[in-house]
Amino acid sequence: MKYSIEGTPLPVVICHLDAGEAMITERGSMSWMSPNMKMETTSNGGFGKALGRMFSGEAMFQNRYTAQGGPGMIAFASSFPGAIRAFDIGPGRELIVQKGGFLAAETSVTLSVHFQKKLGAGFFGGEGFILQRLSGRGIAFTEFDGHVVEYDLAPGQSIVVDTGYLAAMDAACSMEIQSVPGVKNALFGGEGLFNTVLTGPGRVYLQTMPINAVAGAIGPFLATGK
């Protein structure tokens, strides 16, 4: 499989497959394709895995697209202004992604549930109690909101992130919740009550325009109709 990522700020990944090669994606993610791409809706691992994907923010069923009779082409466009990133998933290169961040992947990549080990990270971290885990082996594509900034964290090195700005992280990284110090800071600082603390070793991917922040910014204007 060969691919190219094109366009800003609404990018698209265009994948060229050899005969017999296939990709999986979530429902509605396909943008255009060649006529010889066959679509099949599948639970991709049975009811248990399908249910897990639903809890991680994705659809229970996935679509499998296979090139038949010769090379095929299929494109997956982002649903929000931002970036599409390609990751080479493999043993020791698993990735933890925000809910809804998975776009498409080779069929050898597995999308599953990732539970936060600490309850505080799930309830107050802004990323939800359940995230998505990409494992297996192959190329996976994710979509992030806005521009993406990457940091390589050494063992024990941490970075404090506001709610919603974590897009993805290596599976070796850990995530905890830290309350904003001081009652006045928490109530009147405008940054919320909690921050997310990410600790290495591993790489973290931070997004500059999380969709929840955008919704919060335009919400008052929608409410007033102005």
What DSSP assignment string belongs to 63-118? Answer: EEEEE-SS-EEEEEE-SSSEEEEEEEE-TT--EEE-TT-EEEEETTEEEEEEE-SS
**pLDDT at res. 196:** 86
Return averaged pLDDT per consecutive 10 residues of the chain, 226 residues in all: 94 98 89 97 62 54 94 95 96 93 95 67 50 94 95 97 90 86 48 80 95 72 64
**pLDDT at res. 121:** 47
Close Cβ partners of 197 (under 8 Å, ≥ 6 residues apart) = 158, 159, 160, 161, 175, 176, 177, 178
**pLDDT at res. 68:** 98
pTM of the full predicted structure?
A: 0.83
**pLDDT at res. 5:** 97
184: how many CB neighbours lie within 10 A of its CB? 9
As a whole number of angstroms, the distance between CA 77 and CA 28 comes to 10
**pLDDT at res. 184:** 46
**pLDDT at res. 125:** 46
Q: Which domains does the chain have, with CATH numbers?
A: 2-218 (3.60.160.10)
**pLDDT at res. 185:** 46
**pLDDT at res. 176:** 87
As a whole number of angstroms, the distance between CA 165 and CA 209 comes to 7
